[in-house]
């Protein structure tokens, strides 16, 4: 499942990068005055900065949630193993022959 998330994240980054490249080329080749083109590029860069910050924040929250979820699973497995070990140890101690 984590591999699937990794692949979809890579696809999303590639998609965004392609969109940026395409938008940049469209602005450069569109017939407009230099100052207008520079303003459009600046506005597009600012917009992409805001989007990437939002995306980064969302990804960070998702990863923190995933880490907490995995931590809880590992703790539960550790606790279950510890309890099983204690039960088996108690059984062994009860059935252990007395050596004197």
DSSP-derived letter for residue 86 is: H
Taking only the tens place, the pLDDT of each residue in 44-89 is 888 888 888 888 888 889 899 999 999 999 999 999 999 999 998 8
Location of structure tokens 């017939």: 31
Q: Across the chain, what does the average pLDDT equal? A: 81
Is the pTM higher than 0.75? The answer reads: no
Question: Can you say how many angstroms the Cα of residue 98 is from the centroid of all Cα atoms in its chain?
Answer: 56
The CB density around residue 1, as the number of other CB atoms within 10 Å, is 6
- Cα distances (Å, whole numbers) of residue 43 to 21, 47, 49, 61, 63: 15, 6, 10, 27, 30
Band the pLDDT of 1: cuts 50, 70, 90: very low
């Amino acid at each position: 499942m984590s591999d699937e998330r990794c692949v979809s994240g890579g696809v999303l980054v590639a998609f965004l990068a392609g969109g940026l490249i395409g938008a940049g080329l469209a602005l450069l080749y569109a017939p407009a005055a230099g100052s207008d083109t520079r303003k459009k590029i600046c506005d597009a860069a600012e917009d992409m900065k805001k989007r990437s910050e939002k995306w980064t924040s969302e990804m960070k929250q998702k990863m923190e949630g995933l880490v907490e979820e995995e931590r809880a699973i590992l703790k539960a497995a550790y606790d279950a193993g510890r309890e099983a070990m204690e039960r088996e140890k108690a059984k062994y101690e009860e059935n252990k022959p007395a050596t004197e």
